[in-house]
């Protein structure tokens, strides 16, 4: 079967970039990685990308196809060729490009290392395994699927605005430990993660969930971290306060009251500095009347929904016990 694609080339020696089109023959079952291999073997050996396992577990071949991050080895090409589409293959976003489709992963790993990515437990030598219920471990199984390919980071809108934002991959890794019944560093982790560039800087665009090739759902992991922080009463960050006002405001009136959102998020003094901005919004007709009650018609239904949600939220967690000769200790 014939496949045509365009590859965004970048030559570090000359600092020149260009878009180059290739047409090659490959089996109908070919993935994007297979097609790139045929290009490299038979047309141009200087086309450069990372690869290894070709079974979506090593995380080497993250790149973009038509602007969206994919694992090349998990992307079948026949459907595109049948439609006559000529995809543009480019390097992942939010990371510096080294050459062609290869990006510098150092900033990615620096954030990974910043979340203290290892289990903290007591230092006594292990005698037996920790006794943990399967249901407890299931809570972190999704995060444990992560292969650190960087597809989520590539697509992260918050990181585009703030390159220091920890980002979806590192935060999902953090949740893998925060949610681990054996970890004893949970509170300290949550305190750090609730600081600047942390949990609350996510804009909830859900691109990470959408583009993750392994179903890790990093945004859900970030949400879990936020919920854990609330449980630990870590609500001093502006992002946390913002979330709190959302909760209390909608609980009371069924609607969000924008006029209380700003002062309660950034404080009365901060709110005063925002008055010119508010007036600008008002002139554009984007501020609701602050004096109207702004209540939903059937607030009772809203409250019933809240009760339902609360009932589903687990309040207690079963911790792990140290297994020693069959007995917990």
Which of residues 184 and 204 has its CB atom nearest to another protein in the complex? Answer: 184
> Who contacts 29 (Cβ-Cβ below 8 Å, separation ≥6)?
76, 78
Query: Would you count residue 270 as binding another protein (CB under 8 A)?
Result: no
Considering only 25, 67, 113, 270, the residue that binds another protein (CB under 8 A) is 113
Query: Would you count residue 160 as binding another protein (CB under 8 A)?
Result: no
Q: How far is the CB of 5 from another protein (least distance, A)?
A: 18
SS (H, E, C) 189-238: HHHHHCCCCCHHHCCCCCHHHHHCCCCCCHHHHHHHHHHHHHHCCCCCCH
Query: Would you count residue 45 as binding another protein (CB under 8 A)?
Result: yes
| 3-state class (DSSP) for residue 88 | strand
Q: How far is the CB of 279 from another protein (least distance, A)?
A: 51
Query: Would you count residue 255 as binding another protein (CB under 8 A)?
Result: no
Query: Would you count residue 325 as binding another protein (CB under 8 A)?
Result: no
Size of the site for another protein (CB under 8 A): 60
Considering only 15, 118, 233, 312, the residue that binds another protein (CB under 8 A) is 118
Do residues 58 and 148 touch, judged by C-beta distance below 8 A?
A: no
Quick one: angle between helices 238-253 and 218-231, nearest 10? 80
Q: How far is the CB of 44 from another protein (least distance, A)?
A: 7
Q: How far is the CB of 45 from another protein (least distance, A)?
A: 3
Give the separation between CA 261 and CA 271, rounded to whole angstroms.
Answer: 10
Considering only 1, 6, 8, 58, the residue that binds another protein (CB under 8 A) is 58
> Who contacts 75 (Cβ-Cβ below 8 Å, separation ≥6)?
31, 32, 33, 65
Query: Would you count residue 99 as binding another protein (CB under 8 A)?
Result: yes
Query: Would you count residue 69 as binding another protein (CB under 8 A)?
Result: no
Sign for the pseudo-dihedral over CA of 247, 248, 253, 257? negative
Q: How far is the CB of 303 from another protein (least distance, A)?
A: 36
């Amino acid at each position: 079967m014939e496949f045509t694609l365009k590859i965004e080339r970048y030559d570090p020696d000359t600092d020149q970039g260009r878009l180059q089109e290739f047409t090659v023959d490959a089996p109908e079952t070919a993935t994007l990685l297979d097609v790139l291999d045929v290009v490299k073997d038979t047309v141009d050996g200087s086309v450069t990308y990372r690869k290894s396992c070709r079974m979506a577990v090593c995380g080497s071949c993250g790149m973009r196809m038509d602007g969206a991050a994919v694992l090349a080895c998990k992307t079948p090409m026949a459907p595109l060729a049948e439609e006559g589409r000529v995809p543009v293959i480019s390097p992942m976003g939010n990371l510096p490009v080294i050459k062609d489709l290869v990006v510098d992963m150092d900033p990615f790993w620096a954030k990974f290392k910043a979340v203290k990515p290892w289990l903290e437990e007591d230092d006594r030598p292990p005698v037996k395994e920790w006794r943990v219920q399967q249901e407890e471990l299931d809570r972190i199984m999704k995060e444990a699927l992560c292969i650190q390919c960087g597809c989520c980071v590539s697509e992260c809108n918050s990181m585009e605005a703030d390159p220091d934002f920890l980002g979806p991959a590192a935060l999902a890794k953090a949740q893998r430990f925060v949610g681990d019944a054996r970890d004893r560093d949970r509170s300290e982790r949550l305190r750090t993660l609730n600081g600047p560039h942390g949990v609350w800087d996510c804009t909830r665009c859900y691109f990470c969930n959408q583009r993750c090739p392994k179903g890790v759902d990093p945004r859900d992991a970030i949400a879990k971290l936020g919920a854990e922080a609330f449980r630990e009463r870590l609500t001093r960050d502006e992002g946390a306060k913002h979330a709190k006002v959302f909760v209390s405001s909608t609980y009371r009136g069924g609607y969000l009251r924008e006029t209380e959102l700003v002062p309660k998020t950034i404080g009365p003094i901060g709110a005063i500095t925002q008055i010119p901005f508010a007036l600008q919004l008002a002139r554009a007709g984007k501020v609701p009347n602050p004096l109207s009650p702004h209540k939903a018609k059937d607030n009772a239904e809203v409250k019933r929904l809240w009760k339902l949600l609360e009932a589903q939220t687990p309040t207690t967690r079963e911790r792990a016990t140290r297994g020693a000769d069959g007995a917990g200790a």
